Every structure is written in C-alpha cells, then in structure tokens.
Amino acid sequence: MLYERVHMYERLVYASSAVSAPDETELRELLAISRDHNVATNVTGLLIYAERSFMQMIEGPHAAIADTYGRITKDSRHRGIRLLLRTDIGARMFPRWAMGFYWPDSDALTRDLPGYRAEGAYPFVAGDLVPNGDVATTLMRIWANDAG
C-alpha cells in the first residue's frame, strides 16, 4: 500500500529519428494535439526536437503513460525509437506543462551535449551522445529553463 501512494506516477523518456524534417507549423500542430491529449489524460512532459531527432519525457498515471507510449511507438512520423528510461516516480519533473517544447540551436547542443558535432544528424538517437535516461534527464533539466 505504501508503495502505491509514494509511486503514483511513471516517467518515460525516449529518443527517435524523424522520418522527414518537420517545419515549424508541423511541430506546432503536433504540440497542440499532444497537449490536448495530455490534458485529458493527466500526462505532463517535455518534447525536444533537433536535427531530425526527438527526445521526449512523459509523466503521469501508469495506464496513461502506457497508452500514450503505445500511440507514440505506432506514429509513422518517426522511427528507431530508443527507450531511455521508464521508472516509477513520486513527483513529476514538469507538473505544469501538458507538453513543454524546446528546439535547441547548435550552440546549446555543443555546450550541453558532450561529443556533439555540428555536422551530425539525429543527436538524441546516437547512443554515444545520449547513452541512457540519466543523461537525457539531465539535458531536460538544463533545457527546461528555455522551454515553453
């Protein structure tokens, strides 16, 4: 019983490659749909997009995270999904965001992502740049200050 009360939520972080580079309008539409769905299902999180790669953290009730991640894995706009972290949590990292968003420029990638090379594509999918959920979570904490 105590476990259930302390670990009410789940946090999931993944990275993937965009099939094609979305423009700003497509990203705004994706965010609007995601935010509407997340409000309805009590899911919060942060989406980061750079150089045809996505990294996303979603947090919420276990069933809602399972459903949301199931839809994400079937979305044809991306491929090569890498699950970086899936863990129970007692509190959310981004409780006020139905879905925050950040699009880091090459300066932010160079500064905050050790080993990043400007000519590289898919920086979040490369296992040597974002090898695990701890690195992904650290990046999200850093970039959350610039996200909206």
At 55-80, the pLDDT tens digits run: 999 999 999 999 999 999 999 999 99
Q: What pLDDT shows up at residue 113? A: 77
The proportion of the chain whose per-residue pLDDT surpasses 90, expressed as a percent, equals: 52
Q: What pLDDT shows up at residue 45? A: 95
Q: Per the structure block, which two tokens stand in for 129? A: 């740049």
Q: Taking the domain 2-143, which CATH number applies?
A: 3.30.70.100
Measured torsion, CA atoms of residues 30, 33, 37, 42, in degrees rounded to the nearest 10: 60
pLDDT grade for 142, boundaries at 50, 70 and 90: confident
Domain boundaries, the chain: 2-143
Q: What pLDDT shows up at residue 2? A: 47
Q: How far apart are CA 132 and CA 14, in angstroms?
A: 9
Q: How far apart are CA 75 and CA 68, in angstroms?
A: 11
Q: What pLDDT shows up at residue 7? A: 63
- Contact by Cβ (8 Å): 144, 137: no
Give 35-57 pLDDT, tens digit per residue: 999 999 999 999 988 888 899 99
Mean pLDDT of 110-131: 71
- Contact by Cβ (8 Å): 51, 126: no
- pLDDT at residue 93 above 50? yes
Q: How far is CA 61 from CA 4, 90, 130, in A?
A: 11, 11, 26
Q: What is the DSSP letter of 75?
A: -
Q: What pLDDT shows up at residue 148? A: 62
Q: Is 131 helix (H, G, I), strand (E, B) or coil?
A: coil
Q: What pLDDT shows up at residue 111? A: 79
Q: What pLDDT shows up at residue 1? A: 42
